[in-house]
Amino acid sequence: MVSRQVRNKMEVAETIESVRAAVMAARGKGKTIGLVPTMGALHIGHISLIEAAVKKCGFVVVSIFVNPTQFGPCEDFEKYPRPFEADLDICRKAGVNLVFAPRQEQMYPGENLTWVNVEKLTEPLCGKSRPGHFRGVTTVCAKLFNIVRPDVAFFGQKDAQQAIIIKRMVADLNMPLEIDICPTIREPDGLAVSSRNQYLDKQQRQDAAYIYKSIEKCRKMVNAGKVETSELIEEMKKVLLKQPSIEIEYIGIVDPETLEAAERISGKVLVAVAVRLGPGRLIDNILIDTKK
C-alpha cells in the first residue's frame, strides 16, 4: 500500500498586493483570517501560536519580518537569526496557508513618519531599557493588521508587556480584530522558549533555567500566603543572583492591565523578570490570580 502525503499548498507572498489578493480570495470563500506575526527563527513557541490559529481560523497567515524599528541601535538586529527555508518548512508542516515575507523596502519604502504609540504601558519593565522598542512593535503590528486585515491575531504570553500593549492599541484605536494571547511554551527545565536562547553557551543555558525557577519561587510563596511584593522580589533576587552569568535587569510584580507596581498581591498580578545573560537579554513572566 502506498502511503500518500497530502501536501499543504502554502503560498509565499513578498508584496502587500499579493497578500491582500490572497486574503481577499480566502475571505470570499467565507474563511476566518488568522495572523501570526513573527520575526522568523520559528520555534515550538511560534508553532503553538500557529496551531492555535489553525484551530480557530480557516485561513492562516504567518508574517516573517525582522522589523528594524523595534531594535535599538545597540541591539541584535543584524545578527538576529534568519533561517528562512527552515521557517517555511515549519509553516508548511503546521498547516499555514500563506507566509508573508516582505523585504524591508516593502514595509518601509521611504522614511517612516507615522508612529503608533501607547503611552504609560510602554514605560516600565522592558520599556525602561529598550526606549522606542514598543513603538516599533505597535507601529509594525498596525501596518500588518492593515495589510492582512485578520479577524484574529495571535501573540504569546511570553512577551507579556507586548501583549498588553497590543491589546490596548487595538481597543483604543477600535481596530476590528481580536487578539489571542497563547500560553508560554517552556523547555523541560522551565526556560521559556525564545529565538534568543540559541545565543547562550552551556553555562549560560544552565543558568537561564533559574529565571523561571525564580518566578516559580514567587508563585509558591504567594500560594503559601505571602503578599508583600518587596519580600517576594527579595527572594526572587536571591535565586537569580546565585547564578554566575545572570545580571538582573528588573523583577516586577505589577497590575496586569496598568503595569503599575503592586505593593501587596491581591487579585491578578503579573510577575515579570528580565535578565542580561551572556550576549543577550532574556525575559519571562507568569500571571497569578489569588482570587482564583
Q: Which is nearer to a copy of itself, 20 or 196 (CB)?
A: 20
Shortest reach from residue 234's CB to a copy of itself, in Å: 31
CB of 116 to a copy of itself, least distance (A): 5
* Residue 104, burial from CB neighbour count under 10 angstroms (0-12, 13-18, 19+): exposed
> Pattern of binders to a copy of itself over 157-176, x per CB under 8 A?
-----------xx--xxxxx
Kindly state whether residue 133 participates in binding a copy of itself, applying the rule CB under 8 A.
Answer: no
Cell of 93: 508542516
Q: Which of 182, 123, 169 is nearest to 143 (CA)?
A: 169
Q: Are strands 59-64 and 33-38 parallel, antiparallel or unpaired?
A: parallel
Give SS3 for 36: strand
Considering only residues 93 to 112 of the shown chain, the ones binding a copy of itself according to CB under 8 A are 112
Q: Please count the residues of this chain forming the interface with a copy of itself, following the rule CB under 8 A.
A: 26
Site for a copy of itself contains 14 (CB under 8 A): no
Using the rule CB under 8 A, is 137 a contact of a copy of itself? no
114 scored as a contact of a copy of itself (CB under 8 A): yes
43 has catalytic annotation: no
Q: Which residues contact 266 (CB under 8 A, 6 or more apart)?
A: 227, 290
Residues 6+ apart with CB under 8 A from 244: 203, 207
Asked if 113 touches a copy of itself (CB under 8 A), the answer is yes
Stretch that binds a copy of itself, among 89-97, 145-153, 182-190, 237-245 (CB under 8 A): 145-153
Long-range pairs of 231-238 with CB within 8 A, sequence gap ≥ 24: 232/265, 232/271, 236/273
Residues designated as active site: 46
Q: Which residues bind a copy of itself (CB under 8 A)?
A: 16, 20, 112-121, 138-139, 142-143, 146-147, 149, 168-169, 172-176
